[in-house]
A and B are shown apart, each in its own frame.
Chain A
């Protein structure tokens, strides 16, 4: 098994955090992982993205030719990455702010209003965790509980209220889609 995912969006949407938490939890589960962030000038002007590879044997290239999954949190990222994804792959998009839909017909699309959901929960910053709920449900890269445990360690010192919001946000995203 080898799964490559690109997470992308505005800086501040927690895009790198999504990738990092996936890599960290997959590593804890015993998988091989690589986390490759875009950096420097590329992330100036507000966009951010990272590529995560998860596999059960040595990961050859951390660079993805054709990622299996694409998570887009804003419109420019959809434009940039939609043609990169492999035929038959899956796009997860933040429908709270992305109106357009992929022009390709050979990919599955999940439109999650994760911004609105997070807003209702009282913290727009949890939008990325809502999206991760959906992502983990669909991709089944690892069990939800393993993922949640990892983000709690990553967020370590954070307040209990944050942990609770994260758990709720994750659960809503998870239940938003059917298998």
Chain B
């Protein structure tokens, strides 16, 4: 008898994604669903999809969901979590959603240390509305609203969410990952799992930023998009853990147990 080694996570519905080929949203959806399955929290999870390419996430995730208005996910998630503190609540947001129109809601949910998890898709553009400049667009990057490339004098600089949010005392776990290779996908899944575990343990606000390919608006094929993340995007947005208040604090002079 064949052994099943790979299948659809329980927390994903039998639906076909509307995402473009090579889009990072699809991968991250799957990772989140796998984590929900592995932590066995499907029945107590409530998700908040954004306005953005992931607006239809409620068609994919097989957990309770309420779609938020553009940028307001963390406020809506706050309302849910405070009303039902024993549920697991996550907000799923793009870079325009989180770092432009919804920066106040995100920043303050983080600063209050809401015990929620934010999955933050940074694809350096507004995907859904057709590739306009996002707060995370690279300098010189061409978008439909920066036809000559993002100009530092006119358009300012890419917003570094992990760096900023890790400065807030309210945040607990913050990591930036990507999904442009099998190894990085595995790493991202670990990060997402850690973030949900952080919430389950009641430790506070966690945010995982994922540098995510948008071949359609980057006008690159899927492979080159993955390369672009390595060669350009991750230079501006270095990968790594920016905040980890989960790690046990080692007292000086204390011997390592192992």
Chain A directly contacts chain B within the complex, with at least one CB pair under 8 Å = no
